[in-house]
């Protein structure tokens, strides 16, 4: 609802009346449930984030590489179907409203935690052996990179969806492999070896 409107305009350029109209309710009813415009936008973004996370949930029945490929496929399918909403999420992440930034930051923390679990499964080690500030940092970096790539893809269409998926996939495995250059542990070395093998493997879902 309101997330599509936010995808088309900056937060401070959208009035509460416009948000209420986009949500299909009166301004009075909106204020009844949400005391401020910020509170409403946080609720809208939380719903959008939760929908994104549901679509991107990792299928634990698949092997790790197939799991990532399916995840990327679901991710690109969703953002292509809901481009305005995704662009709203990306824009809001860098906005001035602290409550909105905090909501999106929590979503990113959850995503990083899920990817750490994935990395441990890929390396076939316990999470505790692998988890570190280095791994967390490269995963946050990859998520930021991915968001920027997708926002540009949605706006410019310079690449095909398959090309975007290849960029994100190769960058992800390269980031995982780079952890061993700082965390010189047996677990990080296993991760680097597994990531390099995974990067060379064919995509396990159809374009």
Separation of alpha carbons 126 and 112, rounded Å = 16
Separation of alpha carbons 77 and 93, rounded Å = 21
Give residue 126's pLDDT band: very low, low, confident or very high (50, 70, 90): very high
Nearest to 156 by CA among 95, 94, 83: 83
Comparison of pLDDT for 18 and 7, the residue scoring more: 18
- Structural domain boundaries in the chain: 43-200
pLDDT value of position 207: 45
Residue 2 has pLDDT above 70, yes or no: no
* Degrees to nearest 5, angle at CA 122 with 64 and 107: 75
What class is the 43-200 domain? mainly alpha
46-88 pLDDT, tens digit each: 777 677 667 666 666 778 899 899 889 888 988 888 787 777 7
For range 7-24, the mean pLDDT:
67
Nearest to 181 by CA among 192, 171, 168: 192
pLDDT value of position 59: 66
């Amino acid at each position: 609802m309101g997330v599509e409107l936010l995808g088309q305009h900056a937060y401070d350029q959208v009035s509460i009346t416009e948000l209420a109209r986009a949500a299909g309710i009166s301004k009075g009813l909106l204020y009844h449930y949400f005391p401020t415009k910020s509170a409403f936008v946080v609720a809208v973004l939380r719903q959008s984030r939760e929908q994104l996370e549901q679509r991107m949930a990792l299928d634990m029945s698949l092997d790790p590489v197939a799991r990532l490929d399916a995840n990327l496929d679901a991710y690109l399918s969703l953002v292509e179907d809901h481009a305005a909403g995704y662009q709203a999420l990306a824009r809001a992440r860098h906005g001035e409203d602290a409550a909105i930034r905090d909501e999106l930051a929590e979503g990113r923390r959850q995503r990083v935690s899920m990817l750490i679990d994935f990395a441990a499964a890929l390396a076939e080690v316990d999470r505790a052996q692998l988890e570190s500030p280095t791994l967390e940092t490269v995963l946050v970096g990859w998520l930021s990179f991915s968001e920027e790539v997708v926002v540009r893809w949605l706006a410019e269409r310079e690449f095909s969806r398959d090309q975007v998926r290849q960029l994100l996939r190769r960058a992800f495995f390269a980031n995982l492999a780079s952890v061993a250059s700082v965390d010189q542990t047996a677990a990080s070395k296993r991760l680097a070896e597994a990531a390099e093998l995974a990067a060379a493997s064919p995509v396990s879902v159809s374009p």
